[in-house]
Amino acid sequence: MKNIDENGISFETKKKIALVNSLNPYVDITPFELNLGIPFINYPGFYVQHGELIVYVTPAQTFTEKNMTVGYESDLRGISYEVWDDVTVHKGKTSDRTIHDNVRDYNKGDLIITNKRIVFIGINDNFELKVSDISATKIIDETSFIILSGSVLRNIKLDENLVIYAYGFINYVVSNYKNGVDVYSVLKKQMEEITPEQINLCRIINQEAHDIRLAELEKKRKVRMAILFSFVAVIAMLAFFSSNSTKTYDYSALELIDLPDHPRIFDKIEDATKYYRNIRDDRVAIVSIQKHCRCSASLTAICSFFLTASFAH
């Protein structure tokens, strides 16, 4: 079958493993995706209790949500007059309306899921919930879910590609506890039954997934660099033609402003355009305030994008 290797593992599965492993430094999801057992976990410093094992660990955030003032909206009543281009005078009443919205305050940390506890370890927030006390879980959007334990409600946010694992493993340990299943014994047995050949297969697939991820990143880097070089080439050509222009000027920019018939204020943009067109100085461009702002913002955004892209991994 197309895109299936000799071990029956698809290219899409390897891509998924590569992406998920790149987002989570504590877990190799390979054995789970190959239906061999729980993920391989490396999270030193967390001490399990007797009869407890770590099922899943992931970087996460807790958050609180508050309704706060996020801005103001003006309500104009009356008549507005356009005095000249880009200048408007308003006559009448003006009032401001306060805009409120729900704002989240996030705390970074790690979410640890065991067969006995759900633990969050962070800088500004920490909690520990017993699996036996959890009464409900619910996904609230593509990156967040809630855990209800008694009267305590905890909001959890993760990368959208990791939510399904954290939420799924929490429901797994909670539902099995409610049904009287000894999760510790079940998972211990799975871990003991995995063969050296299966472990070696996981290592091979993990490496292949890693190579796929590197190839994708390299391809994206080359595309961005090609765009960057094209951009630089265009700038260089413009600079070349500008430096080789046959047109010469016998006055500086300050001398231009000091010309006897140079007006200090133009009533209309058409007058300014006509004046500088007659001078035939292509160093001067006449634009409206709005167009100048748009051009400046666009140039800043383009430069920022290429500077970021050139350093992207």
107 shares a domain with 183:
yes
Which of 145, 164, 193 is the endpoint of a domain? 193
Q: Are residues 142 and 266 in the same domain?
A: no
Q: Which two tokens stand for residue 59?
A: 């970087």
User: Are residues 171 and 50 both part of a single domain?
Assistant: yes
- Do 180 and 279 sit in the same domain of this protein? no
What are the φ/ψ torsions at residue 126 (nearest 5 degrees)? Answer: -145, 145
Computed from CA positions of residues 16, 21, 27, 31, in that sequence, does the dihedral angle turn out positive or negative? positive
Is 227 among the domain residues? no
Residue 219's pLDDT is what? 75
Mean pLDDT: which of 39-43, 62-66, 99-103 is highest?
Answer: 39-43
Question: Range with the lowest mean pLDDT among 93-97, 128-132, 171-175?
Answer: 93-97
**How many C-alpha atoms does 185 have within 13 Å on its Cβ side?**
5
pLDDT one-digit tens code per residue, 136-171: 999 999 999 999 999 999 999 999 999 999 999 999
Q: What is the CA radius of gyration of the chain?
A: 31
Query: Tens digit of pLDDT for each residue in 209-248?
Result: 989 888 877 777 777 777 776 666 667 666 665 555 555 5
Residue 74: exposure state from Cβ atoms within 10 A (0-12, 13-18, ≥19)? exposed
Co-location of 43 and 147 in the same domain = yes
Pairing of strands 87-114, 117-122: antiparallel
Tell me, yes or no, whether 230 lies in a domain.
Answer: no
What's the farthest any 2 CA atoms get from each other in the chain? 95
CB hemisphere CA count around 190 (13 angstroms): 16
Handedness of CA 213, 218, 219, 221 (dihedral sign): positive
pLDDT of residue 223: 75
Q: Which pTM value belongs to this model?
A: 0.63
Do 257 and 183 reside in the same domain of the chain?
no
Burial 9-40 (b: 16+ CB within 10 A, else e): beeebbeebbbbbebbebbbbbbbbbebbbbb
**Do residues 166 and 297 both lie within one domain?**
no
Residue 133 lies in a domain: yes
Residues 185 and 256 in one domain: no
Give a yes or no: residue 203 inside a domain: no
One-letter identity of residue 232: V
Q: How confident is the model at residue 82 (pLDDT cuts 50, 70, 90)?
A: low
Residue 281 falls inside a structural domain: yes
Higher pLDDT, 24 or 244: 24
Edge-to-edge strand list for the sheet holding 152-157: 126-130, 117-122, 87-114, 54-84, 152-157, 144-149, 134-141
Whether 218 is in a domain gets the answer no
Categorize the per-residue pLDDT at 66 as very low, low, confident or very high, splitting at 50, 70 and 90: confident
- Residue 191 is predicted with a pLDDT of 92
At 133, which CATH number?
2.30.29.30
Residues 242-300 have pLDDT tens digits of 555 555 555 555 565 566 656 555 667 677 777 777 766 666 666 666 676 676 666 66
- Tell me what pLDDT residue 3 has: 76
Checking if the pLDDT of 177 tops 70, the result is: yes
pLDDT confidence band for 172 (50 / 70 / 90):
very high
pLDDT at res. 170: 97
284 and 161 inside one domain: no
Count of Cβ atoms closer than 10 Å to residue 309 Cβ: 15
User: Does residue 13 form part of some domain?
Assistant: no
Domain co-membership, 50 together with 142: yes
Q: Of the residues 168, 193, 218, which one is the last residue of a structural domain?
A: 193
Any domain includes 198 = no
For 98-139, write each residue's pLDDT tens digit. Answer: 776 777 889 999 999 999 999 999 989 999 999 999 999 999
**66 and 166 fall within a common domain:** yes
Q: Indicate if 58 and 178 belong to the same structural domain.
A: yes
Give the chain as a 3 state SS string.
CCCECCCCCEHHHHHHHHHHHHHCCCEECHHHHCCCCCCEECCCCCCCCCCCCEEEEEEEEEEEEEEEEEEEEEEEEEEEEEEECCEEEEEEEEEEEEEEEEEEEEEEEEEEEECCEEEEEECCCEEEEEHHHEEEEEEEECCEEEEEECCEEEEEECCCCCHHHHHHHHHHHHHHHHCCCCHHHHHHHHHHHCCHHHHHHHHHHHHHHHHHHHHHHHHHHHHHHHHHHHHHHHHHHHHHHHHCCCCCCCCCHHHHHCCCCCCCCCCCHHHHHHHHHHHCCCCCCCCCHHHHHHHHHHHHHHHHHHHHHHCCC
Number of domains in the chain: 2
**Which domain, by its residues, includes 281?**
250-313
* pLDDT at position 1: 45
Which of 145, 162, 193 finishes a domain?
Answer: 193
Q: 87 vs 129, which has greater pLDDT?
A: 129
